[in-house]
Amino acid sequence: MNVIEIIGFASSILIGISLGLIGGGGSILTLPVLVYLLNVNPILSTAYSLFVVGTTSLIGSANYMKQKLVNYQAALVFAIPSFITVFLTRKYLVPAIPDPIFTFSGFPVSKNVGIMVLFAFIMLAASYSMIKNKKKSTTNQEQELEFNYPMIALEGSVVGLLTGVVGAGGGFLIIPALVLFAKLPMKSAVGTSLLIIAAKSLIGFLGDLSNLDVDWPFLLEFTGLSILGIFVGSYLSRFISGEKLKRVFGWFVLVMGAFIIIKELVLK
């Protein structure tokens, strides 16, 4: 194992820490780590990302369940359309994407490049939502919950589609939806998000099993380190402000998204 691979496996701990601290961001790290540090094919990496983030989030959500910080009603309304969309996307849509996707000025845009560039733009959108959200109060907490069911369900479908295509758990979209449309307190939104991410990602991964050859020893080793990270993240969340950390992480995601776009579209 060379130095780059060691850094790649060590980075899996950061994936868990991110999920434990802010309830999202794990998949934002997982795909670049697998593709650029561990040289896993981008299509296979999206599947691995679903398993890693899904399993790690499931372990993390258990801690929030113990603290009664998971709203099962909101999770159910969000998750059902998301489950359906992500499974169908992984099972039928992703295998049906042509390779190359299209040709631009004589330059063929491959399926791998297309997925990485789409993922990079999602990273840029995620970074904006993490950085900008300064003045929204997260202390309007235990007021009566008002569920905007159509908007929660619609957001669930959109997140399911994105998860299916790029392997992103979508915590950066789920948490704002739960705060805005279900009026959940921030900590409850984080716990509920982890449960939704876990179920949605693992169901999406099931849609891949018939299409891809999975290297289980590699995947389980990487996932195990990520699970270690979520325990560290959950512990650190007692001492670190989630909102401050989210903005710092947002700037990191912004830089990573720009890097991927430059690497895939300019340097190739």
Residues of the chain with pLDDT > 70: what percent? Answer: 88
Point out the least confidently predicted range of 83-92, 122-131, 164-173, 222-231: 164-173
Contact between residue 35 and residue 202 where contact means Cβ atoms under 8 Å apart:
no
- Mean predicted confidence (pLDDT) in 165-180: 72
Helix %, strand %, coil % of the chain (to 5): 75, 0, 25
Please report which confidence band the pLDDT of residue 178 belongs to, taking 50, 70 and 90 as the band edges. confident
Q: Which two tokens stand for residue 98?
A: 């042509």
Point out the least confidently predicted range of 175-179, 190-194, 199-203, 262-266: 175-179
Listed ranges 18-22, 50-54, 131-135; the one with the highest mean pLDDT: 50-54
Give the pLDDT confidence of 117-149 residue by residue, as tens digits.
887 887 788 778 778 765 544 444 444 556 677
Give the pLDDT confidence of 57-81 residue by residue, as tens digits.
898 888 889 888 899 988 888 888 8
Domains held by the chain: number: 1
Domain assignment of residue 257, given as a range = 3-266
Cα–Cα distance for residue pair 57/261, rounded to 1 Å = 28
Q: Which two tokens stand for residue 99?
A: 């390779």
State residue 172's pLDDT score. 67
DSSP 118-159: HHHHHHHHHHHHHHH--S--S--TTSPP---HHHHHHHHHHH
